[in-house]
């Protein structure tokens, strides 16, 4: 019988960080349950191969949304990592902490102890960033972060175009000033994807007090309102991994609420409909689902300097060989090397639009969008008002859950997205792009009116793969809270949730960074340690925010 002080479900962004920190002093035993297999191999470890693992059944749970009513009934892919390292092993490797005000908002919404001053010390603890802003970045943490090489002139053209359009530039958007155009940061180290499997899990597994159990988590075993273990299926047998102290669910914004509901914790009527005995009626479980949507605004390049020339088999083979033998060359980057965070309007206090710039016109699944040289900006609003939900399809743990994002259900989403498209056109029209700018590939010059833009959005908006919020953290007195400020599931003992599902509201940018931070901070709460001392550093807020968007 496998048994440990702490049993963690999921070896992903938060789960691996938890395993590392909970076992660090050698006093506690930790078991990590992971259904996925090894991450060894070029599809995961080579940064430029990022479009492959999230489309491979071997590495991805294969979730998709229900038909989305406001997107013409489209079904959208919802990849989640099914491999050690979880989604940090299949993501785009863009590293963003989120804006300071995001975390202040969490605290205002009842997540006591999670304001920016509280979380900044954990971001510093987890990072090693060589050329970040002094005093704002970590220098000796497990997670290596770097800026991309930016050798392609289109990257500097994008940043310069933003400056010419009147926007800020920022040397480090994860430092004091997020707002502006600048280099994107990557979780890449020595030419390899620096997932939490590489940063946290492998070092933790070298300790005698940590073990990895390969199995499918069916439910948390509850006895007298207390979590005592995890029922897993492994090698065709059902067994229980026992937890002497606590069970921690770190299984993603999709699987964490699913596991809670399968364990009898969730909206009582829904659980009863599915034939599940109610342990704790928590109506918020599975609700509050949020994500970022984005569009690709694509432009033809007049100069043959884009990655289009590298999409043929021979070039891919050469890039792969150089990466395999030397860990150098184009294989070592995700090619998201420039980006921006900007505000959509005067009166918006901090950025609510994000850009990723890519020197090729291509889809996320790696299929070329244009038969020729092009470049694109991924753009989307950061704080959609739309909310969705995760529900059980049945009481069978193997059934995939029902995922309804309810994308674009709020009228403001449409005006926000139209603004994103028009703003991107303005940026691409600046002098910095004049030597490179050909015709607009997408949406295309013919798409101009609100109705035409709305039709383009409806047909082409894609998930940025940032689901969160489904086990919301908040005050224990709030009926819709699922966990309290120490990540404890409200209404039961010995059970916590620590991953992106606990976010009260989605943060600004990519979610891998804040998800790891949750694992880091939750570990201190679980061990009963005094949290790291709050920071007194003041983030930069644009002094002109009331008057202008730039």
Determine if residue 405 is labeled as part of a ligand binding site. no
Determine if residue 32 is labeled as part of a ligand binding site. yes
Q: Where are the beta strands (DSSP E) in 336-432?
A: 338-342, 353-358, 374-381, 389-391, 402-404
Residues sharing a CB contact under 8 Å with residue 451, sequence separation 6 or more, in sequence order:
none
In the predicted model, what is the mean pLDDT of residues 46-59? 94
Q: How confident is the model at residue 540 (pLDDT cuts 50, 70, 90)?
A: very high
Q: How confident is the model at residue 370 (pLDDT cuts 50, 70, 90)?
A: confident
Q: Which of 52-56, 111-115, 211-215, 374-378 has the lowest mean pLDDT?
A: 52-56
What CATH number is attached to the domain comprising 512? 3.50.50.60
Determine if residue 227 is labeled as part of a ligand binding site. no
**pLDDT tens-digit map of 317-333:** 999 999 999 999 999 99
CB atoms within 10 A of CB 528: 7
Residues sharing a CB contact under 8 Å with residue 343, sequence separation 6 or more, in sequence order:
179, 349, 350, 351, 352, 353, 542, 545, 549, 550
- The answer as to whether 77 is a domain residue is yes
313 and 243 housed in the same domain:
no
Q: Write out the catalytic residue numbers.
A: 466
Burial class (CB in 10 A: 0-12, 13-18, 19+), 317: exposed
Flag whether pLDDT at 368 surpasses 80.
no
* Kind of pairing between the strands at 30-34 and 63-64: unpaired
166 and 208 housed in the same domain:
no
Q: Which long-range contacts (CB under 8 A, 24 or more apart) does 170-174 make?
A: 170/341, 171/133, 172/132, 172/133, 172/136, 172/137, 173/96, 173/339, 173/341, 174/95, 174/96, 174/97, 174/123, 174/129, 174/132, 174/133, 174/136, 174/137, 174/145, 174/513
Determine if residue 33 is labeled as part of a ligand binding site. yes
Flag whether pLDDT at 392 surpasses 90.
yes
Length of the chain: 550
**pLDDT tens-digit map of 81-116:** 999 999 999 999 999 999 999 999 999 999 999 999
Determine if residue 17 is labeled as part of a ligand binding site. yes
Helices (H), 172-224: 196, 202-205
Question: Do 437 and 459 touch, CB atoms closer than 8 A?
Answer: no
363 and 442 housed in the same domain:
yes
195 and 171 housed in the same domain:
no
- The answer as to whether 388 is a domain residue is no
Q: What is the mean pLDDT of the chain?
A: 97
∠466-375-133 over CA atoms, to 5°? 60
**Which residue, of 460, 483, 498, is where some domain finishes?**
460
Determine if residue 337 is labeled as part of a ligand binding site. no
**Residue from 114, 176, 97 nearest 542 by CA:** 176
* Kind of pairing between the strands at 143-147 and 180-183: unpaired
Residues sharing a CB contact under 8 Å with residue 57, sequence separation 6 or more, in sequence order:
none
**Encoded tokens for 1:** 């019988």
Q: Where are the beta strands (DSSP E) in 309-467?
A: 338-342, 353-358, 374-381, 389-391, 402-404, 437-442, 462-463
Determine if residue 11 is labeled as part of a ligand binding site. yes
- The answer as to whether 249 is a domain residue is yes
User: What is d(CA 308, CA 92) in angstroms, rounded to the nearest whole number?
Assistant: 19
Question: Do 141 and 189 touch, CB atoms closer than 8 A?
Answer: no
Taking the complete model, does pTM exceed 0.75, yes or no? Answer: yes
Determine if residue 8 is labeled as part of a ligand binding site. yes
- The answer as to whether 465 is a domain residue is no
Flag whether pLDDT at 536 surpasses 70.
yes
Rg over CA atoms, the chain: 22
306 and 426 housed in the same domain:
yes
> Residues of the chain with pLDDT > 70: what percent?
99
Q: How confident is the model at residue 440 (pLDDT cuts 50, 70, 90)?
A: very high
450 and 482 housed in the same domain:
no
Residue 363: predicted pLDDT:
77
Q: How many domains does the chain have?
A: 2
Residue 419: predicted pLDDT:
98
Determine if residue 20 is labeled as part of a ligand binding site. yes
Q: How many helices (H) and strands (E) does the chain have?
A: 13, 25
282 and 254 housed in the same domain:
yes
Flag whether pLDDT at 367 surpasses 70.
no
Residue 231: strand pairing partners: 219, 240
Determine if residue 13 is labeled as part of a ligand binding site. yes
Determine if residue 274 is labeled as part of a ligand binding site. no
What SS3 state is found at 332? helix
**Residue from 230, 280, 222, 238 nearest 255 by CA:** 230
314 and 234 housed in the same domain:
no
**pLDDT tens-digit map of 212-253:** 999 999 999 999 999 999 999 999 999 999 999 999 999 999
Sign of the dihedral through C-alpha 360, 366, 372, 377: negative
Flag whether pLDDT at 457 surpasses 70.
yes
- The answer as to whether 107 is a domain residue is no
In the predicted model, what is the mean pLDDT of residues 146-156? 97
Residue 364: predicted pLDDT:
66
Determine if residue 3 is labeled as part of a ligand binding site. no
What SS3 state is found at 402? strand
Flag whether pLDDT at 365 surpasses 70.
no
Flag whether pLDDT at 532 surpasses 80.
yes
423 and 501 housed in the same domain:
no
Residue 380: strand pairing partners: 354
Flag whether pLDDT at 427 surpasses 90.
yes
Domain with 304, as residue range(s), is 149-183+293-381+409-460
Burial class (CB in 10 A: 0-12, 13-18, 19+), 196: buried
Residue 371: predicted pLDDT:
82
Regarding predicted confidence, which is higher, 311 or 489?
Answer: 489
> Residues of the chain with pLDDT > 90: what percent?
97
User: What is d(CA 421, CA 440) in angstroms, rounded to the nearest whole number?
Assistant: 12
- The answer as to whether 109 is a domain residue is no
177 and 80 housed in the same domain:
no
Q: How confident is the model at residue 130 (pLDDT cuts 50, 70, 90)?
A: confident
353 and 283 housed in the same domain:
no
Flag whether pLDDT at 521 surpasses 90.
yes
Determine if residue 195 is labeled as part of a ligand binding site. no
205 and 256 housed in the same domain:
yes
CA 472 from centroid of its chain's CA atoms: 16
Helices (H), 97-212: 100-108, 116-126, 153-164, 196, 202-205
Question: Do 492 and 222 touch, CB atoms closer than 8 A?
Answer: yes
What CATH number is attached to the domain comprising 453? 3.30.410.40
């Amino acid at each position: 019988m496998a048994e440990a002080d702490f049993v963690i479900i999921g070896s992903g962004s938060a789960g691996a960080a938890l395993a590392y920190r909970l076992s660090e002093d050698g006093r506690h035993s930790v078991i990590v349950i992971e259904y996925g297999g090894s991450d060894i191999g070029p599809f995961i470890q080579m940064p430029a191969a990022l479009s492959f693992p999230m489309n491979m059944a071997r590495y991805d749970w294969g979730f998709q949304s229900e038909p989305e009513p406001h997107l013409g009934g489209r079904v959208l892919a919802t990849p989640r990592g099914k491999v050690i390292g979880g989604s940090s092993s299949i993501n785009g490797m863009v590293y963003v902490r989120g804006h300071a005000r995001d975390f202040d908002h969490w605290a205002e919404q009842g997540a006591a102890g999670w304001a920016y001053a509280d979380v900044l010390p954990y971001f510093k603890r987890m990072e090693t960033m060589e050329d970040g802003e002094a005093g704002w970045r970590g220098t000796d943490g497990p997670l290596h972060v770097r800026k991309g090489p930016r050798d392609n002139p289109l990257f500097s053209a994008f940043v310069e175009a933003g400056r010419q359009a009147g926007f800020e530039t920022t040397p480090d958007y994860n430092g004091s000033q997020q707002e502006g155009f600048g280099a994107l940061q990557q979780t890449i180290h020595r030419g390899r994807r620096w997932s939490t499997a590489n940063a946290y899990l492998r070092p933790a597994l070298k300790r005698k007090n940590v073990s990895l159990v390969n199995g499918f988590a069916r439910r948390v075993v509850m006895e007298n309102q207390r979590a005592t273990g995890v029922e897993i299926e492994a090698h065709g047998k059902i067994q229980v991994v026992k937890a002497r102290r606590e069970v921690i669910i770190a299984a993603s914004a999709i699987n964490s609420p699913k596991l809670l509901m399968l364990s009898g914790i969730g909206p009582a009527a829904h659980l009863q409909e599915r034939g599940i005995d109610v342990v704790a009626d928590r109506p918020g479980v599975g609700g509050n689902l949020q994500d970022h949507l984005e569009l690709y605004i694509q432009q033809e390049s007049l100069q043959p300097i884009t990655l289009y020339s590298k999409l043929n088999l021979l070039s891919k083979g050469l890039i792969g060989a150089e990466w395999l033998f030397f860990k150098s060359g184009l294989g070592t980057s995700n090619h998201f090397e420039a980006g921006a965070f900007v505000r959509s309007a005067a009166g918006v206090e901090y950025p609510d639009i994000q850009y990723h710039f890519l020197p090729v016109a291509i889809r996320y699944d790696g299929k070329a969008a244009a038969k020729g040289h092009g470049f694109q900006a991924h753009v989307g609003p950061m704080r959609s008002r739309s909310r969705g939900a995760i529900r059980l399809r049945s009481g069978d743990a193997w059934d995939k859950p029902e995922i309804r994002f309810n994308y674009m259900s709020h009228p403001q989403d449409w005006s926000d997205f139209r603004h994103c498209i028009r703003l991107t056109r303005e940026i691409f029209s600046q002098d910095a792009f004049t030597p490179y700018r050909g015709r607009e590939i997408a949406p295309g010059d013919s798409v101009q009116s609100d109705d035409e833009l709305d039709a383009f959005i409806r047909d082409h908006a894609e998930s940025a793969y940032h689901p969160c919020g489904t086990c919301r953290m908040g005050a224990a007195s709030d009926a819709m809270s699922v966990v309290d400020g120490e990540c404890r599931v409200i209404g039961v003992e010995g059970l916590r949730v620590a991953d992106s599902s606990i976010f009260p509201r989605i943060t600004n940018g990519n979610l891998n960074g804040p998800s790891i931070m949750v694992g880091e901070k939750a570990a201190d709460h679980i061990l009963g340690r005094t949290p790291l001392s709050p920071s007194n550093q003041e983030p930069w807020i644009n002094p002109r925010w009331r008057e202008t968007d730039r």
